[in-house]
Amino acid sequence: MIRQSPPIDLSKPYDAAWVKDKTILITGGASGFGAGFVRRWAENGATVIVGDINVAKGDALVRQIQKETGNQRVNFVHCDVTDWQSQVNLFKEAVKLSPHGGIDTVVANAGIAGPDPMQKPTDLSAAEPPKPDFKIMDVNCTGVLYTTHLAYYWLPKNPNSTACSMDSDPSKQPRDRHLLLLGSIASLAAIAAQPQYGAAKHAVLGLFRSLRATSSLQGVRINLVCPYFIDTPIIPPSIRVVLAGAGTGKVEDVVDAGTRFVADSRILGRALVVGPKLNVKQSHEGEWELVARSTPGSHETALWEAYADDWEEVEAFSRGIVRLLNAYQVSRGWVGWATDVVKAVAYGFGFGR
């Protein structure tokens, strides 16, 4: 039953213009790499409906992109992803705004991070602990489940679309049925001091792995992007200091990974991890090694295929990625650490946002 395309050959280019005439619904698209997605897809002729709780940012982004690209088929709709009816209204409005009356791609992008109540000291002298704020779980897990449930209702209803197929021609098939989930490096490995965020992103990974087993029965292809720490406002200055010297990923690389999935209708049931750009070479044993740019046979990449072995060696994969990132931190040394600390402090004062 599982229809999964072969491992992604990242050396083969794709054409972002394949998104032309697609209708794409994205949650949480008002900032961060969500905004990068919207801009890239609008530039290439897609109809994009942005659902976000931040009205000011969402409206400003859409107006700016309409002006810059000349694409007037970019729209903002207020949406609280933790509210079922709010998401239902978003999907209904997207269908109304779609030139062909359907939705080709749904991107469950909305997510938040922040101080975790599970890590706060508890007053043990109190009669009972106060009710914790699980907003992170509400947005990153329940909100994604709402989006996914609605996607599997509206995507099969997309008029003139056909069931997903690895044999499709993305240059000739604008009508699509595609769900793109946004996981995280926290989907693969634990992040200290963020148990709620990690639990939510592990849940997204579990959702993806479960759905891809039966997704093709409904003609819907599903894919996953797992960003490492990306240089966006979601990373507060305090975490930037902790990450100093380790490097962060770039928005444009997340946008590149997401756009490959949205544009290329031949990719089913795959996932990409996005981290900082590293110059690597694969050893005879298949391990990736951090090497100098002048090393023969090496190449620079920020993307790794997470499921090339269908998760049979998931722990080995995670160890390999962590080993590369640790090696990168060591290579940057104290100079890299000091540079990142200065940037983090400047970010805290509003510079560089």
Tally the domains of the chain.
Answer: 1
Full residue range of the structural domain in which residue 215 is found:
19-117+135-236+244-274
Give the tens place of pLDDT for each residue, 154-175: 999 999 898 888 899 998 877 8
What pLDDT is attached to residue 247?
76
Q: Pick the catalytic residue: 14, 22, 146, 197?
A: 197
> For this structure, is 197 an active site residue?
yes
> For this structure, is 67 an active site residue?
no
Average of per-residue pLDDT across 76-104 = 98
Which pair of structure tokens corresponds to residue 228?
């490492």
DSSP β-bridge partners for residue 6: none
Assess whether pLDDT exceeds 60 at residue 302. Answer: yes
Residue at 186 is within a domain: yes
Distance CA 181, CA 130 (A): 33
Residue at 187 is within a domain: yes
Residue at 320 is within a domain: no
Residue at 312 is within a domain: no
Q: Is 270 in a helix, a strand, or coil? A: coil
Q: Assign residue 173 the CATH number of its domain.
A: 3.40.50.720
Cα 301 from chain centre: 17
Residue at 3 is within a domain: no
Residue at 31 is within a domain: yes
Q: How far apart are the first and last CA of the chain?
A: 46
Residue at 286 is within a domain: no
Give the tens place of pLDDT for each residue, 11-47: 899 999 999 999 999 999 999 899 999 999 999 999 9
* Residue 310's pLDDT band (cuts 50, 70, 90): very low
Cα 162 from chain centre: 25
Q: Pick the catalytic residue: 14, 22, 146, 201?
A: 201
Distance CA 216, CA 5 (A): 11
Considering only the C-alpha atoms of the chain, give the largest distance between any 2 of them, rounded to a whole number of Å: 67
Assess whether pLDDT exceeds 70 at residue 253. Answer: yes
Residue at 41 is within a domain: yes
